[in-house]
């Protein structure tokens, strides 16, 4: 079993300036986790070459999957691919495949949009069916780097169309349970659950300080059958360990 | 003029697992920017000692203000202060001042909540008027590190009560304008604004690909008077440069 680890990088000065809420990283974290990928770091940086480079390098040190969003557009501050190419020591080259994708998405003549056809050498463009800029997939020392547009709808469809199939073929299954307990303090529940944490290393428990206390339980497995077995076994142990008010699949 | 640079770190496996949307970093980024502080990086890490340590160290390298949220509670997975103390090479010590703050916020006897009274040596607890765990302010090699609870209401009140006054005394003023133009492409507006970017280095322009195109303009200054002057001068130049449909203060 090789556990897969990802980092998420969201690029855009509008994020670090607090002008917009970055929802891409939350969506990606949720999707990656549901595909059995552990997200180790989420980093947001401004449209700044050295910060983009730093984020990429620091993520390459600890993960084998990196998803970058933002900065793939046509204005001069869209510098993600340029910064990435420099940081990773590859050239930015013209891709006729990317240009074809762009042409199929633009009414009339392609002019300033040509910028999005320059992608890191050795990478592949990923068709964008909701916008113009293609996503980009780069494999480097067996690590997968995905560059997706910052516009949430475009980011999501490219992820579902291209990134998910690539990751799903080799990854894991997961399920989230919401357990409402009959306890009033988080600490009490936390202590009771402690032994289960050691028994089930493939389970993540998170208690929430509501009254009564709620526990979010995430179960991970290598197959759907294993996921069913693990869910059954865990629920049976949970029922012996804590007083459960209700249990929902979320 | 010494420009102040901040990093934001949000701690919590519920963030990297995509179980909750981290809204703290967006709120903090917006508040810090309005106080004239530039946010260079936003990093989210799980409840993991080595990741918290990595985030802190990487932020200390590039900024003089670090705001950390999350992991100040009473359960065993709340390890932010422990991880920070280890990473920064200081001890975690009992603070009677912090204990008094906790006592004033807990009905009945203080038991497991005592955990929140152990803070990095040399740091000061910050009173939490909406929750129990105090915030923590640590000055290290003239850099300011603030640890705030992850619960948004507690994080916000401690920021407003304690962090803002500390930062405001030495920082800047800012104002955001929303300019609706009469252009249909972002690139066109971007090109027209280019000369203004060089003229006004204290202004941030961000064009948005709406039809017609919108521009968010953030003006920074050292005083309220300077902010007024800069706003007047900029608006006058904007009116000569681009076709404005409407202009709002946001």
CB nearest to A42's CB, from B44, B194, B204: B44
Note the pLDDT tens digit of each residue in B46-69: 999 999 999 999 999 999 899 999
Query: Is the previous residue joined to B54 through a cis bond, with omega within 30 degrees of 0?
Result: no
With H, G, I as helix, E, B as strand and everything else as coil, classify residue A74.
coil
How does the average pLDDT of chain A come out, rounded? 92
pLDDT at B172 (0 to 100)? 67
CB nearest to B76's CB, from A39, A190, A218: A190
Average pLDDT over residues B31-45: 94
pLDDT at A1 (0 to 100)? 32
Average pLDDT over residues A34-55: 95
Q: What is the DSSP string of B21-85?
A: ---HHHHHHHHHHHTTEEEEEEEEE-S-HHHHHHHHHHHHTT-SEEEEES--SSSTT--HHHHHH
CB nearest to B23's CB, from A21, A42, A209: A21
Average pLDDT over residues A113-126: 95
List residues bridging with B178 in a β-sheet.
B216, B248
Nearest CA in chain A to B33: A17
| Chain B: closest CA distance from residue A39 (Å) | 6
- The more confident residue out of A12 and B211 is A12
Band of the pLDDT at B6, cuts 50, 70, 90?
A: very high
pLDDT at A2 (0 to 100)? 45
Residues of chain B with CATH 3.40.980.10: 4-168
B20 contacts A21? CB cut-off 8 A: no
Q: Which two tokens stand for residue A48?
A: 């700044």
Average pLDDT over residues B156-179: 87
Nearest CA in chain A to B10: A42
pLDDT at B1 (0 to 100)? 32
Average pLDDT over residues A33-60: 95
| Chain A: closest CA distance from residue B141 (Å) | 23
A206 contacts B14? CB cut-off 8 A: yes
CB nearest to B39's CB, from A17, A38, A43: A17
A14 contacts B27? CB cut-off 8 A: no
Q: Is B227's pLDDT higher than 70?
A: yes
List residues bridging with A176 in a β-sheet.
A218
Average pLDDT over residues A212-228: 87
For the ranges A110-114, A174-178, B200-204, B215-219, which has the lowest average pLDDT? B200-204
Q: Is B3's pLDDT higher than 60?
A: no
Q: Is A149's pLDDT higher than 80?
A: yes
Spell out the CATH class of B4-168: alpha beta
Q: Is A90's pLDDT higher than 70?
A: yes
First to last CA, chain A: 26
B41 contacts A16? CB cut-off 8 A: yes
Band of the pLDDT at A171, cuts 50, 70, 90?
A: low
Note the pLDDT tens digit of each residue in B80-131: 999 999 999 999 999 999 999 999 999 999 999 999 999 999 999 999 999 9
B17 contacts A207? CB cut-off 8 A: no
Strands A143-148 and A65-69, by their bridges, are parallel
Average pLDDT over residues B162-166: 93
CB nearest to B42's CB, from A15, A204, A206: A15
Q: Which two tokens stand for residue B82?
A: 């422990």
Residues of chain B with CATH 3.30.70.2860: 173-249
Q: How far apart are CA B114 and CA A42, in angstroms?
A: 31
Q: Choose the mutation target among A44, A63, A111, A132 for the interface with B, i.e. most B CBs under 10 Å.
A: A44
| Gyration radius of chain B over CA positions | 21
For the ranges A66-70, B33-37, B65-69, which has the lowest average pLDDT? B33-37
CA dihedral over B77, B80, B85, B91, signed as positive or negative: negative
**A173-249 has which CATH code?**
3.30.70.2860
């Amino acid at each position: 079993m090789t556990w897969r680890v990802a980092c998420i990088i969201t690029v855009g000065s509008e994020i670090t300036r607090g002008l917009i809420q970055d929802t891409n990283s939350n969506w990606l974290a949720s999707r990656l986790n549901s595909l059995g990928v552990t997200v180790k770091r989420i980093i947001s940086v401004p449209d700044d070459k050295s910060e983009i480079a730093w984020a990429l390098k620091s993520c390459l040190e600890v993960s084998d999957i990196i998803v970058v969003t933002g900065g793939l557009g046509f204005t001069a501050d869209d510098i993600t691919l340029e910064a990435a190419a420099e940081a990773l020591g590859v050239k930015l080259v013209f891709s006729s495949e990317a240009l074809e994708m762009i042409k199929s998405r633009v009414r009339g003549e392609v002019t300033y949009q040509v910028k999005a056809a320059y992608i890191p050498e050795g990478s592949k463009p990923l068709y964008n069916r909701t916008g113009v800029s293609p996503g980009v997939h780069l494999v480097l020392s067996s690590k997968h780097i995905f560059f997706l547009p910052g516009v949430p709808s475009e980011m999501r469809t490219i992820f579902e169309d291209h990134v998910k199939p690539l990751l799903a073929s080799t990854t894991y299954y997961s399920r989230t349970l919401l357990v409402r307990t009959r306890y009033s303090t988080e600490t009490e529940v936390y202590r009771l659950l402690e032994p289960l944490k050691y028994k089930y290393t493939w389970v993540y428990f998170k208690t929430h300080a509501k009254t009564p206390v709620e526990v979010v339980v995430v179960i991970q497995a290598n197959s759907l059958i294993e996921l069913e077995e693990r869910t059954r076994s865990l629920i049976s142990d949970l029922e012996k360990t804590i007083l459960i008010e209700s249990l929902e699949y979320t």
